[in-house]
Amino acid sequence: MDVLSDVIAIMRTGRPRSARVSWRAPWGQRFPAEPGSATFQVVLRGSCWFLPSEGEPVALSMGDVVFLPQGDGYALADSLETPLAEPVCDPYRDAGMIGSAAFGGSGAETVTLCCGYRLDHARTHPSLRSLPAVIHLPARLGRHPELRAAVDLLTREIEGPRLGADTVVSSLLDILQLYILRAWFEAEGSYCSHSGWAAALADPAVSAALDAIHRDPAHSWTVQSLGERAGLSRAAFSRRFTDLVGKPPLAYLTWWRLSTAARLLQETDASVAEVARRVGYGSEFAFGNAFKREHGISPGRYRRAVCVPAS
């Protein structure tokens, strides 16, 4: 597993939601803030305005993607003059994974793909916390071809669900989100960031250390051995890693081990002792103490609390 793959795998709780919506002018809708969620909108046809809770309106055209990693409120409208209605399209409250709807008047049509995830704050990767409230990826000829291909596949599945659609759509939503994050981190790491996760993932030394931690969290990593992976001295590696990631190397390793353990407790029936071994703890007692310090609850109680049927 690499870092971006892990961001997707660890953050979601429950089932994703998605809806293809046809809007006909005049139309305008508010989308309330959803703390503990991530949302994205894709313009499949036509154009519209995106109105963030803070900041200037943004004109969207066909192929544009807007991602809100912290679940901030926003609005969409055909025109800046159109009054905004209360929510009528809300993927979080839709009982099904896949939906479709039509709203508005009888004018020009805009079609959007609205998708949402619930997130587990206890397992949210620091890379997501470092993202801005709104990420806008405009459609430009030849840019992000993988992202466009994922959008096309997802649209086809939602417009005409067939056998296995739930699994296909869930997987495509993960892929779409990965491509969004990849495009953002690559752009930020290449052009303007000197610190933070975009820079960390773009830095060969720090990226090599992160990759090692994520591929084998149970390994007995030390600052020295991670520095060797990074091709830096122990002191130089520790400084660079801490500056870019925001945590010292071993503090990040511990956080990642315990976040991985939380996911294993929720998603597998492995015993607590087995989970402890799989994330690098030599004893169940030591693992239990570390887990409680991080999550505020013992591993057994955590499993009982979170292992409820997904809505």
What tens digit of pLDDT does each residue of 243-253 get? 989 899 999 99
pTM above 0.85, yes or no: no
The CATH label, of 3.30.230.10, 1.20.58.340, 1.10.10.60, 1.10.530.10, for the domain at 203-306 is 1.10.10.60
Domain ranges of the chain: 3-191, 203-306
What average pLDDT score do residues 39-62 get?
93
11 vs 80, residue with greater confidence: 80
% of residues, the chain, pLDDT over 70:
87
Lookup result for tokens 């953002």: 184
* For residue 197, pLDDT beyond 50: yes
239 vs 189, residue with greater confidence: 239
Token pair listed for 46: 């036509």
Residue from 146, 171, 157, 137 nearest 69 by CA: 137
Task: Using pLDDT thresholds of 50, 70 and 90, give the confidence band for residue 289.
Answer: very high
Averaged pLDDT score across all residues of the chain: 85
Rounded distance between C-alpha atoms, residue 88 and residue 99, angstroms: 12
* For residue 311, pLDDT beyond 60: no
Rounded distance between C-alpha atoms, residue 304 and residue 209, angstroms: 34
Whether the domain at 3-191 and the domain at 203-306 fall into the same CATH topology:
no
pLDDT in the model for residue 122? 64
Token pair listed for 25: 């002018």
Token pair listed for 155: 């649209």
pLDDT in the model for residue 269? 93
pLDDT in the model for residue 190? 54
Task: Using pLDDT thresholds of 50, 70 and 90, give the confidence band for residue 95.
Answer: very low
CATH architecture of the domain with residue range 3-191: Sandwich (2.60)
* For residue 226, pLDDT beyond 50: yes
What average pLDDT score do residues 233-247 get?
94
Task: Using pLDDT thresholds of 50, 70 and 90, give the confidence band for residue 98.
Answer: low
pLDDT in the model for residue 218? 96
Lookup result for tokens 């596949």: 153
* For residue 8, pLDDT beyond 80: no
pLDDT in the model for residue 310? 43
